[in-house]
Amino acid sequence: MADKEEINIVWFKRDLRLQDNEAIFNALNTGKKTLFLYVFENSLINDPHYDIRHWNFIKQSIADINKDLKQHNTKIICVQTEVITAFNQLLNFYTIDTVFSHQETGLLITYNRDKDFARYCRNNNINWIENNNNGVLRGLLNREDWFEKWDDYMYAPQIQISYSNANFVDIKTIETLEKNFTTPNLATEKQTKFQFGGTKTAWKYAMSFFEERHKQYMFHISKPELSRESTSRLSPYIAWGNVSIRQIFQKALSYQNENNKRHLGAFISRLRWQAHFIQKFEMEHTMENASVNKGYHKLKKSISIKYQKSWQEGKTGFPLVDASMRCLIETGFLNFRMRSLLVSFFTHILWQPWQASSQYLSKLFLDFEPGIHFPQLQMQAGETGINNLRIYNPIKNSTEHDADATFIKKWVPELANLPLAFIHEPYLMTPLDQQFNNFKLGEDYPYPIIELQSARKKASDILWNLKKNSTVLEENLRILKKHTLSDRNRMLKND
């Protein structure tokens, strides 16, 4: 039997781009024949954190890459199975010398998968080279010098990759190889409400932001409707790696000047904070299921399926909360403040555990990034101990950030014809008001499912008292020492 051809493999995960991609650069520099691989893992497809909107975005991203790879007579081979199963099948046809990929700061299921894959590679004499992703470092015990290292990474030249003389497994061979696998169809239905995946689309959003849309960034960032135009909308492209943080960071710097320093400076600062939270999750993976501050493990909340269902369906009787949830369901995007409002309402007003909201929200966020998701859930739930306690008032936020009710009218259309004051607080309508407006509370729109002021006071009293708990205070010191203090001081200094 003839010896099998030896190849290298680039295993794509959350790095779906062809430039500033260290895994690709390293693979092509070996000069060996290279195969690009993406595995649609059944374990992740079935994981309750993910939704079809994520897989469609990934498919669109891969299809976009394959258009560019066509001129080099290759493409990404996409298979639907588990990772080790995929490599076992590939070993029937090739000798695999090295696998190149980026480290993934993901769910526990992906971390365990990577540990299993590392063991598999050792047992099969396969080299596996993992690169840091976007400056996030694995194996850190503390943050000493982390910010400086991240900053150095962001200012370093982007990785320029030449594909002209690359030695790829060709398309015809890949198409023959695909017959031995279950291969998903990369075609997706035309969706107008969700952002479309792919590097080309990512740069369209980026350039429209840097050239024009950023001009109202700081003024509109908290506005649920205006922020949809004035923020970058790059989060899904960063989350799935259609662009690298470094590419966006450097492009933002190139557009920054005295006229827009405040707006683009604030945007750049948020790129830093994004990396901070992902690094935090990388170092405290237990945050997926438990509060990072162990003092809050004793906080017990009663589960209310009724409350949770009303919140999930956008039928709480609080218009801005309901509009935010319905918008998120339909479009996969919501600005930061409204995300915070949803979590605060769930965890404080409804007094439900943040863990009960985690999977539902992750399925809705098109930009679901575990390293952002879990730290932010806990911060908004007030269970870190080190952050300010914020119990958002949905009425105050409604009148301040959606004063003319444009956002509410769009997403809760049953309120659109009411007088403005009643749109923000429909429960204030008397029976005569309802009759005059041909509107009936409890039928056309629900009564509030909870009394707001007493619920806010209950949450505030309990959480402020818990902040004084000895375990919470001890954990505060541990968290600050490990994660936050040096990074925060440096970021404030740099901003």
The closest of 113, 55, 49 to 80, measured between CA atoms, is 55
What residues pair up with 39 in beta bridges, in sequence order?
A: 79
The answer to whether residue 491 scores a pLDDT higher than 70 is no
The answer to whether residue 1 scores a pLDDT higher than 50 is no
C-alpha–C-alpha distance, residues 367 and 96, integer Å: 33
Q: Do the Cβ atoms of 384 and 291 come closer than 8 Å?
A: yes
Query: What is residue 196's predicted lDDT score, i.e. its pLDDT?
Result: 96
Q: Do the Cβ atoms of 269 and 495 come closer than 8 Å?
A: yes
In CATH terms, the fold of domain 294-474 is DNA Cyclobutane Dipyrimidine Photolyase, subunit A; domain 3 (1.10.579)
What confidence tens digit (pLDDT) does each residue in 369-425 have?
999 999 999 999 999 988 889 999 999 999 999 999 999 999 999 999 999 989 999
CA distances 241 to 272, 329, 415, 450, Å, are 16, 23, 39, 41
| Percentage of the chain exceeding pLDDT 90 | 89
306 — pLDDT class (breaks 50, 70, 90): very high
Put residue 267 in one of left, alpha, beta given phi > 0 → left and psi -120 to 50 → alpha.
Answer: alpha
What confidence tens digit (pLDDT) does each residue in 185-220 have?
999 887 779 999 999 999 999 999 999 999 999 999
| Percentage of the chain exceeding pLDDT 70 | 97
The closest of 247, 278, 242 to 155, measured between CA atoms, is 247
Q: What is the CATH number of domain 199-283+479-494?
A: 1.25.40
Query: What is residue 484's predicted lDDT score, i.e. its pLDDT?
Result: 62
The answer to whether residue 490 scores a pLDDT higher than 70 is no
CA distances 327 to 303, 357, 365, Å, are 25, 17, 11
Per-residue H/E/C for 339-405: HHHHHHHHHHHCCCCCHHHHHHHHHHCCCCCHHHHHHHHHHHCCCCCCCCCCCCCHHHHHHHHCCCC
The answer to whether residue 241 scores a pLDDT higher than 90 is yes
Burial class (CB in 10 A: 0-12, 13-18, 19+), 2: exposed
C-alpha–C-alpha distance, residues 268 and 271, integer Å: 5
Query: What is residue 165's predicted lDDT score, i.e. its pLDDT?
Result: 87
User: Is the domain defined by 5-159+169-178 classed in CATH 2.60.120.620?
Assistant: no
Q: Is the pTM of this model over 0.85?
A: yes
Query: What is residue 359's predicted lDDT score, i.e. its pLDDT?
Result: 98
The answer to whether residue 492 scores a pLDDT higher than 70 is no
C-alpha–C-alpha distance, residues 385 and 383, integer Å: 6
Put residue 438 in one of left, alpha, beta given phi > 0 → left and psi -120 to 50 → alpha.
Answer: left
CA distances 160 to 18, 156, 178, 488, Å, are 9, 12, 30, 32
So where are the chain's domains? 5-159+169-178, 199-283+479-494, 294-474
In the predicted model, what is the mean pLDDT of residues 341-354?
Answer: 98
Do 5-159+169-178 and 294-474 share a fold?
A: no
